[in-house]
Amino acid sequence: MSEAETSDAPQMEIYNRIWLSIAERKLKPGTRLKEEQLAEIFSVSRARVRQALTALEHDGLVTLVPHRGAFVSQPSIVEARDIFFSRRTIELSLVSRLCESAGPDAIARLEAHVAEERQARVAGDTKATILLSGGFHLLIGELAGSPYLWDVLRDLVSRTSLIIAMYQTRKQAECGPDEHAKLVEVIKNGDGPQAKHLMNHHLDHLEGQLDLEESAESSDDLRDLLA
Tens of pLDDT, residues 160-203: 877 876 677 655 555 779 999 999 999 999 999 999 999 999 99
Report pTM: 0.76
Per-residue confidence (pLDDT) for residue 10, from 0 to 100: 84
Per-residue confidence (pLDDT) for residue 165, from 0 to 100: 66
Per-residue confidence (pLDDT) for residue 163, from 0 to 100: 81
Q: Would you tell me which CATH number, out of the four given (1.10.3720.10, 2.60.120.260, 3.20.20.70, 1.10.10.10), belongs to the domain 3-74+215-225?
A: 1.10.10.10
Per-residue confidence (pLDDT) for residue 84, from 0 to 100: 94
Per-residue confidence (pLDDT) for residue 4, from 0 to 100: 42
Per-residue confidence (pLDDT) for residue 170, from 0 to 100: 57
Locate CATH 1.10.10.10 in the chain.
3-74+215-225
Per-residue confidence (pLDDT) for residue 139, from 0 to 100: 97
Give, in words, the CATH class of 77-208: mainly alpha
3-state SS record for the chain: CCHHHHHHHHHHHHHHHHHHHHHCCCCCCCCEECHHHHHHHHCCCHHHHHHHHHHHHHCCCEEEECCCEEEECCCCHHHHHHHHHHHHHHHHHHHHHHHHHCCHHHHHHHHHHHHHHHHHHHHCCHHHHHHHHHHHHHHHHHHHCCHHHHHHHHHHHHHHHHHHHHHECCCCCCCCHHHHHHHHHHHHCCCHHHHHHHHHHHHHHHHHCECCCCCCCCCCCHHHHCC
Locate CATH 1.20.120.530 in the chain.
77-208
Cβ neighbours for 131, distance < 8 A, ≥ 6 positions apart: none
Per-residue confidence (pLDDT) for residue 113, from 0 to 100: 97
Tens of pLDDT, residues 104-125: 999 999 999 999 999 999 998 8
- pLDDT under 70 in the chain at which residues? 1-7, 165-166, 169-174, 212-220, 227
